[in-house]
Amino acid sequence: MEKEMVLFGKRVVEEKYMIAGLIQEERQADLTAASVSNQELSAVVLEERVRFIDLLGTSIQNSCYEEKIMADMAKWGTATGNFFLAHGMS
């Protein structure tokens, strides 16, 4: 099963931009035109999605290293939360 997890995680990392783009499209379908028109914000949100998907794929590949995965996710969550709070977004 470990080989499958490594392969699955690698594919997630390889396709992170495509996956993030599909999620972004789906999420933007629910937003108002004014919200979607902020291209700078959309680009930032897309990059954060890409970073999260990359982290997810990496964690799947390294699923036997739970402590490292949890530390990486906590670091990402803190950095992302601080970024959005600093820019007045909640």
Between helix 2-14 and helix 39-61 the angle, nearest 10°, is 160
Helix (H) or strand (E) holding 31: none
Instruction: Between 39 and 5, name the one with better pLDDT.
Output: 5
Average pLDDT, integer, range 58-84: 84
Distance (Å, rounded) from C-alpha 2 to C-alpha 44? 34
Q: Return the number of other C-beta atoms located less than 10 Å from residue 59's C-beta.
A: 19
Q: Residues 8, 52, 15, 4: what is their CA dihedral angle, to the nearest 10 degrees?
A: 0
Query: Is pLDDT of 50 > 90?
Result: yes
Is the pTM here over 0.75, yes or no?
no
In the numeric block, the tokens 């949100």 are attached to 45
Query: Taking all residues of the chain, what is their mean pLDDT, rounded to a whole number?
Result: 85
Angle at 53 between CA 77 and CA 27, to 5 degrees: 90
Instruction: Report domain extents, the chain.
Output: 2-86
Mean pLDDT of 47-74: 87
Mean pLDDT across the stretch 21-32? 85
Type of residue found at 68: K
